[in-house]
Amino acid sequence: MELLDIKRYPESILREKCAPVAEITDKERRLFEEMLFTMRHCAGIGLAAPQVGIARNMIVADIGKGAVQLANPLILWRKGGDHLEEGCLSIPGVSVNIERSYEVAVSGLNEKGQAVELKAKGLMARVLQHEIDHLKGRLIVDYLSLFERMKLKFRR
């Protein structure tokens, strides 16, 4: 299995809006597997395709309860609110306290090309929201105030 190169902030691919996936072929299945392998190797719990240099609507996640592999993920509804520190494989050494929905329902295509809908709470809901943000070019640093972002830029 190939270990993919994780793109680091401020690389431009991380700001791109990703293209939808028309269908799941062997190429997409292989990318899902390589993304999972890379995510686990880097001790992550979620990874989006732009983080490995591919501007396509594909994410993977695994919080220890089985892998989720989705193309074209879409949040259908949200409930509740929750604050938690988040990190990102593309922005090592930075954590940001972010408020996100505690519970979500997400639709998409799974690794078999089937349309699926899944409900998630807690950490998995947070990971899904974080990875879907990546597909829109949104990063955890975007949740910081302008002053905090400036401090981060000068720290680098």
Cβ-count burial 132-144 (b if 16+ within 10 Å, e if not) = bbbbebebbbebb
Which residues contact residue 43 at a Cβ distance below 8 angstroms, ignoring those fewer than 6 apart? none
Q: What is the DSSP letter of 50?
A: G
Tell me which DSSP letter residue 25 carries: -
Catalytic residue flag (residue 131): yes
Which of 28, 86, 111, 131 does the annotation list as catalytic?
Answer: 131
Question: Would you mind telling me the total number of residues written for the chain in this entry?
Answer: 156
The catalytic site residues sit at 131
